[in-house]
């Protein structure tokens, strides 16, 4: 059970309306909520508050009395008998129809002619000094907890009062302070907030009272002179409001405010309802026992910057959910995003011990191990990510997540084909994303083999446009060049040219020439000349002349096509361009190679241009790994 008090130093800021809406929002999410009306001088909450609608209000509803015992009768009975009454006798059900959870109400008291007399008969100071009022309220709180409610929301009266102290310091785990952005509110709030912060822990409450700050009744108007900004800064400074703890609620102009409606129920798309939902989330976020609230908190904390008050609360979350892999995962994500890599690594390791790692968390485990130098552990985590089954609990698998793993493997200089061969994570992607992954598998013949298998699968299963199918078939043929499936590659490139498929003619013709060379053992000079002719008529040659692989390919085509001077010039230009790149596709291997290896390939091509009888790597050793 978590007790949150709604307090305002002055009236007219919408405190009770906020409480009513927060209670409904909590109940609608399946929680059991008890509302306690401690605004004894001006009681306004009755059981029908959550059931009525603005349009259903009649003249007889205005000022209607409420005939049910509440706080006043409870305290009066206690002072007469010195025995705590049954709380359940002072609580009434207030749950609206079609509500997922439950709302109950402990009202201020029976509203009749004698209410004022009964209220004035209670001396609150005497209650604490002579009647063990502290024990009475502790017993009341224990009885609330015995009702198995999730939240108790207290509506406290305004100003400096004895009842206000009960609501803001004795009973609550959290206080929601609502105030206008004016000087009087600031002066009054400073003392109240400080007294709450000075309240020590108790055997029951081991943590300080959490504070939420709501700047309410803000005029919904232009602020040309920056008045609101200055007041916002003043309140943040004077009240030491932590980052992310100040919620603002604008004035909402509507006659139905006279009925204090439940906007989150009757008008959920209004800005006011949105503010109440945000307030609900903030209250739940700081209740360490509210799992859903904690998860929302961690999601937000992972996106934003560090809050100096967060570390203690994050530690409490870690302690509370030491066996809950779902919460630990979000906590680890938060730590990772905040730069606490070692903490994140510890948490992911804990999740691994629990045997409950989603695909996203398997990748995070690999990344954290990699960063902390556990390279063997990182390799195991990556193998787990790529090869363990995918189930309904891993909806987060996407091509971006897969490429994170591929990039890590590339940085570790491992052959990615071993990890991806038959990988279940690929098959859950859409066909277009599978194609994206296949196109990125370009570092070695084993990777090209996996890429070819992916293209074959999506071509067999995919119902796509002719343009997309042409692109996938081109990708398959290109992969086939690296794995000695030359006849298949040649057949596609020939068809692509003859049928004028939607593919680029220059690289298609070049690849056809290379496939014919690989298949027959002899270069076909005429086909290479067709590459040069296509280049000659191309208006924009920059895609080929600004690309290391394009220049390298043109050098080979120029040599066999009889343009010897062009061959040397193209090859020199290719070596110059590759200096500014970490890696590039090489036509000598049909894989992407580091720039040093690309230079080695260019040196071999220089020897070819010098008259040596050389063949490319993909023809000489098509099944060997690319170093």
pLDDT tens readout for residues 263-293 = 888 888 888 899 999 999 999 999 999 999 9
Backbone angles phi, psi at 414, to 5 degrees: -100, 150
Kind of pairing, strands 174-179 and 92-93?
A: unpaired
Please give the average per-residue pLDDT across 116-127, as a whole number: 89
Q: What letter does residue 444 receive in the DSSP assignment?
A: S
Please give the average per-residue pLDDT across 391-395, as a whole number: 60
Alpha-carbon separation of residue 203 from 200, 206, 208 (angstroms): 10, 6, 12
The per-residue pLDDT for 306 is 45
The per-residue pLDDT for 305 is 47
CATH value of 484-627 in 1.10.287, 1.10.3470, 1.10.10, 1.25.40: 1.25.40
Give dist(CA 207, CA 197) in Å, integer.
Answer: 11
Token pair 């061969």 is at which residue? 421
CATH number listed for the domain at residues 2-287: 3.40.50.300
Alpha-carbon separation of residue 40 from 21, 111, 431 (angstroms): 20, 10, 65
The per-residue pLDDT for 457 is 94
The tokens for 475 are 């990708």
Task: State the Rg of the chain over Cα.
Answer: 36
Measured from the Cβ of residue 554, the count of other Cβ atoms closer than 10 Å reads 30
Crossing angle of helices 399-411 and 359-371, in 10° steps, is 20
pLDDT-derived band of residue 63, with 50, 70 and 90 as boundaries? very low
Which residues are within 8 A (CB) of 277 and not within 5 positions of it... i.e. 6 or more apart? 25, 264
- Are the CB atoms for 90 and 73 separated by under 8 Å? yes
The per-residue pLDDT for 569 is 95
Dihedral, CA atoms, 213, 214, 219, 220, nearest 10 degrees? 120
Q: What is the pLDDT of residues 409-439, one digit of tens each?
A: 998 888 899 999 999 999 888 999 999 999 9
Which residues are within 8 A (CB) of 448 and not within 5 positions of it... i.e. 6 or more apart? 417, 441, 442, 479, 480, 482, 483, 590, 591
Give dist(CA 541, CA 562) in Å, integer.
Answer: 20
Domain ranges of the chain: 2-287, 484-627
Q: What letter does residue 200 receive in the DSSP assignment?
A: P
Asked whether the CA dihedral 320, 323, 325, 328 is positive or negative, the reply is positive
The tokens for 336 are 């990772």
The per-residue pLDDT for 561 is 94
- Give 385 or 390, the one with higher predicted confidence: 385
3-class secondary structure, 322: coil
Give dist(CA 68, CA 281) in Å, integer.
Answer: 31
Q: What letter does residue 540 receive in the DSSP assignment?
A: -
Measured from the Cβ of residue 195, the count of other Cβ atoms closer than 10 Å reads 14
Please give the average per-residue pLDDT across 29-33, as a whole number: 96
Q: What is the pLDDT of residues 223-264, one digit of tens each?
A: 677 788 888 888 888 988 888 788 888 776 565 555 557 888
Measured from the Cβ of residue 305, the count of other Cβ atoms closer than 10 Å reads 9
The per-residue pLDDT for 625 is 40
Give dist(CA 79, CA 365) in Å, integer.
Answer: 60
- Are the CB atoms for 103 and 35 separated by under 8 Å? yes
Give dist(CA 85, CA 78) in Å, integer.
Answer: 6
Give dist(CA 188, CA 238) in Å, integer.
Answer: 11
Alpha-carbon separation of residue 411 from 213, 352, 415, 446, 515 (angstroms): 47, 24, 11, 17, 31
The per-residue pLDDT for 197 is 87
- Are the CB atoms for 29 and 177 separated by under 8 Å? no
- Are the CB atoms for 39 and 161 separated by under 8 Å? no
Q: How would you classify residue 159: left for phi > 0, otherwise alpha for psi between -120 and 50, otherwise beta?
A: left
Q: What is the pLDDT of residues 587-613, one digit of tens each?
A: 999 999 999 999 999 999 999 999 999
Q: What letter does residue 97 receive in the DSSP assignment?
A: T
Give dist(CA 54, CA 61) in Å, integer.
Answer: 11
Strand partners, 8: 178
The per-residue pLDDT for 35 is 96
- pLDDT(309) > 60: no
Q: How would you classify residue 217: left for phi > 0, otherwise alpha for psi between -120 and 50, otherwise beta?
A: left
Number of residues that make up the chain: 627
What average pLDDT does the chain have? 87
162 closest CA partner among 123, 209, 195, 202: 123
The per-residue pLDDT for 159 is 61
Using a pLDDT cut of 90, give the percent of the chain over it. Answer: 51
Q: What letter does residue 166 receive in the DSSP assignment?
A: I
Which residues are within 8 A (CB) of 174 and not within 5 positions of it... i.e. 6 or more apart? 2, 3, 4, 5, 209, 210, 211, 212, 283, 286, 287
- Are the CB atoms for 245 and 76 separated by under 8 Å? no
């Amino acid at each position: 059970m978590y007790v949150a008090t709604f307090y305002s130093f002055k009236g007219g800021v919408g405190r009770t309306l906020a409480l009513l809406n927060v209670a409904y929002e909590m109940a609608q999410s399946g929680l059991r909520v008890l509302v306690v009306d401690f605004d004894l001088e001006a009681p306004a909450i009755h059981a029908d508050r959550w059931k009525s609608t603005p349009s259903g209000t009649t003249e007889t509803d205005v000022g209607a009395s409420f005939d049910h015992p509440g706080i006043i009768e409870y305290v009066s009975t206690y002072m007469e008998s010195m025995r705590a009454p049954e709380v359940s006798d002072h609580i009434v059900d207030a749950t609206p129809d079609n509500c997922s959870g439950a709302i109950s109400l402990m009202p201020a008291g029976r509203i009749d002619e004698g209410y004022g007399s009964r209220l004035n008969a209670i001396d609150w100071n005497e209650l604490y000094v002579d009647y063990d009022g502290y024990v009475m309220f502790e017993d009341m709180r224990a009885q609330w907890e015995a009702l198995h409610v999730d939240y108790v929301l207290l509506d406290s009266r305004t100003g400096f009062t004895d009842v206000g102290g009960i609501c803001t310091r004795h009973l609550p785990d959290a206080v929601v302070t609502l105030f206008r952005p004016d000087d009087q509110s600031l002066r009054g709030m400073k003392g109240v907030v400080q007294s709450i912060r000075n309240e020590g822990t108790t055997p029951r409450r081991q943590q300080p009272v959490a504070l939420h700050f709501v700047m309410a009744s803000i005029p919904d108007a232009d602020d040309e002179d920056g008045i609101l900004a200055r007041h916002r800064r003043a309140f943040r400074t004077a009240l030491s409001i932590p980052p992310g703890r100040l919620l603002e609620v604008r004035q909402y102009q509507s006659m139905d405010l006279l009925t204090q409606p439940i906007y989150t129920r009757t008008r959920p798309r209004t800005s006011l309802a949105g503010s109440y939902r945000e307030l609900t989330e903030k209250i739940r976020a700081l209740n360490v026992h509210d799992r859903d609230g904690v998860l929302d908190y961690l999601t937000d904390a992972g996106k934003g910057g560090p809050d100096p008050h967060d570390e203690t609360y994050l530690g409490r979350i870690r302690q509370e959910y030491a066996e809950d892999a779902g919460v630990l995962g979000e906590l680890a994500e938060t730590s990772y995003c905040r730069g606490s890599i070692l903490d994140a690594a510890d948490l992911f390791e804990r999740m691994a011990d629990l045997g409950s790692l989603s695909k996203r968390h398997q990748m995070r485990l690999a990344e954290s191990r990699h960063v902390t130098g556990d390279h063997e552990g990182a390799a195991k985590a990556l193998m787990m990510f790529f090869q363990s089954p995918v189930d309904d609990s891993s909806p987060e698998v996407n091509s971006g997540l897969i490429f994170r793993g591929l990039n890590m493997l590339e940085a570790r200089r491992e052959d990615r084909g071993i990890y991806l061969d038959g990988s279940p994570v690929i098959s859950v992607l859409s066909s277009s994303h599978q194609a994206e992954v296949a196109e990125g598998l370009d570092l070695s013949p084993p990777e090209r083999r996996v890429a070819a298998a992916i293209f074959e699968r999506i071509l067999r299963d995919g119902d796509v446009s002719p343009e997309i199918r042409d692109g996938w078939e081109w990708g398959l043929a290109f992969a086939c060049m690296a794995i000695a499936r030359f006849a298949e590659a040649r057949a596609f490139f020939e068809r692509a040219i003859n049928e004028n498929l939607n593919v680029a003619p220059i690289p298609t013709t070049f690849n056809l020439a290379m496939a014919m060379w690989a298949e027959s053992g002899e270069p076909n000079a005429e086909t290479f000349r067709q590459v040069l002719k296509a280049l000659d008529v191309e208006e924009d040659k920059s895609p080929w002349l600004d690309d290391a692989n394009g220049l390298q390919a043109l050098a080979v085509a120029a040599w066999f096509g009889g343009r010897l001077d062009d061959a040397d010039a193209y090859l020199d230009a290719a070596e110059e361009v590759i200096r500014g790149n970490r890696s590039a596709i090489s036509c000598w291997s049909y894989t992407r190679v580091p720039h040093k290896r690309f230079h080695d390939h260019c040196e071999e091509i220089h020897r070819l241009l010098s008259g040596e009888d050389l063949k490319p790597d993909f023809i000489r050793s098509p099944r060997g790994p690319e170093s």
